[in-house]
Structure 1
Amino acid sequence: MPAGQHDASASAIGYLYQVNWCLIELLQRAPDRPDQAISIETHDDVAWEQAGSPVELLQAKHHIGAATSLGDKDVDLWKTLMVWMNTAQPTDPQGPALILVTTAVAAAGTAAHVLRRDSRNTQAAVIKLNDAARTSKNKITENARTRFLSFTEAEQQILLNRVTVADGALGVDDLDDKLRKLLWAALPNANQDLYLSMVWKWWAGVALDMLRGRRRMVGAGEAQAMLSHLRDQFSEDNLPTTVELADVDENHVVALHADSVFVHQMRWVACNEVNLRKAIVDYYRAVTQATKWITEDLIGLHELEKFEDNLRDEWDRAFADMIEDLGLDADEDAKIAAGKALLRTLRDSTSVNVRPLYNDAFFARGRRHVLAENQVIGWHPDFQARLEELLSVSAPAGAPEGP
């Protein structure tokens, strides 16, 4: 193993643990804190706040492998105390509660053990930590120990009165099961793993926004509303969108489909490049999304075919009206203008949905392009003749790229 590789992976797992454990903390305690919010790396690793002020600061420590013992001279303990001594108004008895969440287990007879909720003895912790601070030779903890010894005994007592050690916490590999248990009452009857993956994906985006400073916190009510929103997508009248716009590499997808039949059809009515690129992304998302729904047994092929029949029926009527309005003597400019208007009208149409409550517009837009790719519909009044010409000078069109 290259030098430093273990340390790098341990640090990465530690950050992942902090982020994912924050969601577990939010879901566990939000019912009792409806007017509070949680944040990451704002006041501490994780913090609860109310009206903009922190009420609880949490440090999250994760250890890989077998259960680790937490003793009075351990680095985790002193690093955590150093953070709080520097930033958490350590001598203010009214300051926020300070919680050390660790997968390690506090050894019996240690300061950490007597700072647990079920065995508190703050005076004993003061004595044990003073003894450890004076006798330890660890260079890593030297500054923290020196700082602690600079406090008076009364100040040490005030600080430790606010500290709680939550040891034996779940490890990073256990958080999936914990999330499932916390949400068991809200899980859909089927596709539970997909629902939970969507919850984690939502949380990853929220956490990234907090780490980048794009948002400050997440309220208990907001989390509850989002979980309900995700759950509603698994009803019989709805579907979950799992292929998000942010998941698509636009340049790659555009290059892949630049010579597709549906792209030629859009060029025949002088579609601008911006909307052409967006149409290609819609097509890709719609094909990929349908494949995922079918794979997850969220939709059947018969339902998808019925939806496309309805799209074609909508197009039949609109195309017939366009031909009637053009008349027999329309020139090419008029045909292009009429075809472009038809494309725009149906692009913005919301009258046909795959399910009554599913209204993510990219899917209907994309499936119309699937029909155009399969030469079932078109935009230019003479699209059928143009398709015959196009296909006569190119390789025969293949099957569509998915359901």
Structure 2
Amino acid sequence: MESTDSNSVHDATAAALGFYYQSQFALLTLISQEADDAAVAIERLDDVELKANGQTLLLQLKHSIKDNPPPVTLACVAFWKTLKVWIDAIPFVSLADTTFHLVSVGSVPSNSPLMALCDMQTDRESLLTAMLVEACRVVDERAADKAAGDKLRHGPRAAGCEAFLALDASTRLSLVRRIRIQHGSVSIGQIPEALSKRMHLIPKEQRFQAAERLLAWWDQQVIYTLCGKRERVIQRSELQHSISSIIAQLDDEKLVADFDLVSHPDGYEADGMLYRQIALVQGRSSDVSRAVREQWRATQQRSKWIVDKPQMRSKIASYDAKLAEYWSDRHARMAEDCEDLEASEVGAKGLELLRWTHDLAPKDVEPISPSWSGHYYVRGTYQVLAIDLQVGWHADYLKLLKD
């Protein structure tokens, strides 16, 4: 088959991007909500349907891939087609609890009557009059064309104009009062960056990567909604859960052993409790020097993580608890074995437990994250816990160190 350029007549790029824009804009809308009950649906009552705080917001999206998107005016097809969609939806919504948004990449000209729809506080009476005049013009000119046997003008706008004129005056005014145009909106290529700016819990350097992962998750959910594999509505709570999972993934991938092979400053001394704990089990100078070195490294690593990623606090605390549990199993068994032993033998057993934290614990306990490779963290954290008396090496360390 010969390679040919894309046939512009059948090129579906704009249509495909238009639907993809609906999906991504729905995500951008949902992540911007603060209400816990916020939820969106795509391609149901409108392009995007948002429910929050007991209110319904119907969004009709007009995307463009042109460098200069067409403006939104009272005569444009997009406006009247959108109006027809909303009029058709009126029987299915509570008009008093529903707001209708036209989101457009193009802008509304400053002299257009539609500027009144860019601010919900603006009076709509003059706009309503202009809309009635335009709708009547379209209907009258089509009637004249039909009577003259000519080709009917304004075909794409006709249904919207006729439906608007068919509404009773009260419904027409209520509808116009609940419309808002959000013009000059972000285009599809700008959405990942806009998303990243809303991910405030994630360090700045990771936000764009997180936004891309969130979009991948979102795309799958949208596909599932459209093919019936899940309910049509996507809840804000689901979005929050996905963001939490992404944060955890990024944490795991970004944990770097910053202090591997880094020596503590000359003259550094650890907390006195570290030395007292080791002295109880007759630890040698090599045991002490190793414990001090690893305690310094682990302390520096913990501090750096907390400064760089405040959300690491809970992960550090959980891992401390895991290390304490591994120690507890060994300490309890050791204490039982020491019940009938001499003091020197009890100390020897404690020294074995101390050396287990140096030699075997980094292999016995799974790392704080799958990518972590710094053995000093387990060794040094055991010393941090020993300083706080959360662990100890002697069978009776709490009793002996109570003062």
Give the alignment's TM-score, normalised by structure 2.
Answer: 0.55
CA shift, 1:191, in A, is: 5.1
Picking from 2, 15, 19, the partner of 2:7 is 2
Counterpart CA distance in 2 for 1:88 and 1:108 is 30
Task: Map Cα deviations across residues 298-332 of structure 1 (whole Å, 9 max, x no partner).
Answer: xxxxxxxxxxxxxxxxxxxxxxxxxxxxxxxxxxx
Pick from 233, 236, 239: which aligns with 1:217?
A: 233
| Aligned equivalent of 1:56 | 57
User: Is residue 195 from structure 1 mapped to residue 174 from structure 2 by the alignment?
Assistant: no
Tell me by how many angstroms 1:34 deviates: 1.5
Q: If you compute each CA radius of gyration, which structure gives the higher value, 1 or 2? A: 2
3-state SS of paired residue (1:12)? helix
CA deviation vs aligned residue, 1:179-237 (integer Å, no higher than 9, x gap): 11111x23346555443321111111111112223222222222112101111112258
Distance 1:104 1:193, change over 3 A: closer
8 Å contact kept, 1:82–1:144 = yes
Which sections of structure 2, spanning at least 5 residues, go unmatched? 1-5, 139-152, 256-362, 372-403
- The percent identity for this pair of structures is 21
Distance 1:237 1:105 in 2: 42
Q: For 1:49 and 1:151, how far apart are their aligned partners in 2?
A: 25
SS of the residue corresponding to residue 173 of structure 1 reads helix
Structure 2 residue corresponding to 1:205, chosen from 213, 217, 220: 220
> Per the alignment, in what secondary structure is the counterpart of residue 156 of structure 2?
coil
Which runs of structure 2 are paired with 1:151-190 in the superposition (5 Å)? 151-183=167-199, 185-188=200-203
Matched AA of 2:167: F
SS in 2 for 1:47: strand
Residue 17 of structure 1 is aligned with which of 21, 44, 49?
Answer: 21
Q: Tell me the secondary structure at the aligned position of residue 232 of structure 1.
A: helix
The change in CA–CA distance for 1:50 and 1:181 in structure 2 (over 3 A counts) is closer
Give 2:7's aligned amino acid.
Answer: P
Corresponding residue number in structure 1 for 2:352? none
* Among candidates 157, 177, 184, match of residue 141 of structure 1: 157
Distance 1:167 1:190 in 2: 30
Corresponding position: 1:228 with 2:230? no
Q: Which runs of 4+ in 1 moved over 6 A?
A: 351-354
CA distance in 2, matches of 1:163, 1:218: 24
Which residue does 1:126 correspond to in 2?
128
- Deviation sequence 1:118-140 (CA, Å, 0-9, x none): 66221122111111112234111
**CA distance 1:202–1:93, shift in 2 (3 Å):** closer
Instruction: Give the number of aligned pairs.
Output: 243
Taking the aligned partners of 2:218 and 2:207, their CA distance within structure 1 comes to: 17
After superposition, the C-alpha distances for 1:335-391 in whole angstroms (9 at most, x for unaligned) are: xxxxxxxxxxxxxxxx989744559xxxxxxxxxxxxxxxxxxxxxxxxxxxxxxxx
Change in CA separation of 1:153 and 1:35 when aligned onto 2, cut-off 3 Å: same
Give unpaired runs (5+ residues) of structure 1.
240-350, 360-403
What letter matches 2:218 in structure 1?
W
- Give the alignment partner of residue 113 of structure 1, picking from 112, 115, 124: 115
DSSP-derived class of the 1:19 partner: helix
User: SS of 2:155's equivalent?
Assistant: coil
Corresponding residue SS for 1:186: coil
CA shift for structure 1 position 157: 0.5
Distance 1:117 1:90 in 2: 25
Change in CA separation of 1:149 and 1:189 when aligned onto 2, cut-off 3 Å:
closer
Which amino acid is the alignment partner of residue 49 of structure 1? K
Tell me how far apart the structure 1 counterparts of residues 194 and 93 of structure 2 sit (CA, whole Å): 36
Which residue does 1:150 correspond to in 2? Answer: 166
Distance 1:20 1:92, change over 3 A: closer
Hey, what does 1:82 align to over in structure 2?
Answer: 84
1:18 CA displacement: 0.6
Kept in 1, the 8 Å contact 2:60–2:101? The answer is yes
Instruction: Tell me the amino acid that sits aligned with residue 200 of structure 1.
Output: L
Q: CA RMSD in A?
A: 2.8
Tell me, in whole angstroms, the C-alpha distance in 1 between the residues paired with 2:86 and 2:120.
22
Cα drift, residue 79 of structure 1: 0.7
Matched letter for residue 186 of structure 1: L
**1:269-288 aligned within 5 A:** none
Change (3 A) 1:157 1:191: closer
Instruction: Determine whether 1:27 maps to 2:31.
Output: yes
